[in-house]
């Protein structure tokens, strides 16, 4: 399967059959425009402007914005209800965490997770091959809290998202604070915004952090 970072918390996930998922499309209020993209499925973690620009995605996709289990075009998707803050939603409401199975690869998109890591959520989500997690803090978990999720979920690959990039106008941290929590040999800088994964790529022995370089940090 192929993963392309579209900026912020938005990714395009493409299975070998061609079925395409777009996660959390954003409005331009964050400081830059959502690229042109089409899909069969759009997943929305919550209804904030930087995550719910459904109209930006062409192709008349199915929109998944509620907890539940789904199967569309051969892609299995599980959406779990979580919180956008550390006070059980009292400050920013609820958030959906999505888990996708594509070409035998288990991917997890944490949306704007704000609650601290807990055993119940970890048990629900495991196993995870590729983890997409916010690291910018303020509106979500910060770098240290994100690292705890990584340590507990033990994914093969971590892709940080929802952090301060060159044109981002949100009050969030840069990715460096998250990367500082890992040894250099575990960080991989990808030349571009796209990476391909195969189930055979994962040995479960260690976690690598993939930094996709679509934007200047």
Within 10 Å of residue 182's Cβ, how many Cβ atoms? Answer: 15
Give me the number of domains the chain comprises.
Answer: 1
Q: List, for residues 39-80, the tens digit of each pLDDT value.
A: 999 999 988 878 899 999 999 999 999 999 999 999 999 999
Euclidean distance between CA atoms 154 and 212, whole angstroms: 20
Query: Could you count the other beta carbons within 10 Å of the beta carbon of residue 151?
Result: 12
**pLDDT tens for residues 146-163?**
999 999 999 999 999 999
How far apart CA 163 and CA 1 sit, in angstroms, is 25
Q: Domain range holding 124?
A: 66-212
142, part of any domain: yes
pTM for this prediction: 0.95
**Structural domain includes residue 13:** no
Assigned domain for 52 exists: no
In a domain, 100, yes or no: yes
And the tokens for 49? 């402007």
Evaluate whether residue 80 is within a structural domain. yes
């Amino acid at each position: 399967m192929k993963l392309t970072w579209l900026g912020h918390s938005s990714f395009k996930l493409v299975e070998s059959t061609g079925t395409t998922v777009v996660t959390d499309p954003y409005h331009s209020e964050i400081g830059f425009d959502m690229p042109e993209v089409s899909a069969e499925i759009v997943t929305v973690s919550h209804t904030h402007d930087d995550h719910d620009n459904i109209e930006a995605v062409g192709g008349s996709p199915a929109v998944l914005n509620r907890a539940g289990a789904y199967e569309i075009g051969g892609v299995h998707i599980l959406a779990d209800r979580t919180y956008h803050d550390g006070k059980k939603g009292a400050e920013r409401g609820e958030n959906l965490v999505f888990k996708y199975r594509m070409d035998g690869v288990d991917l997890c998109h944490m949306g704007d997770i704000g609650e601290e890591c807990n055993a119940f959520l970890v048990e629900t989500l495991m196993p995870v091959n590729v983890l997409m997690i916010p690291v910018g803090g303020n509106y979500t978990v910060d770098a240290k809290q994100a690292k705890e999720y990584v340590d507990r979920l033990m994914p093969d690959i971590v892709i940080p998202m929802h952090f301060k990039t060159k044109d981002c106008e949100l009050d969030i941290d840069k990715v460096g604070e998250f990367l500082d929590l890992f040894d250099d040999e575990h960080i991989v800088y990808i030349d571009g915004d796209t990476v391909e994964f195969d189930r055979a790529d994962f040995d479960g022995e260690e976690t690598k952090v993939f930094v996709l370089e679509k934007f200047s940090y």
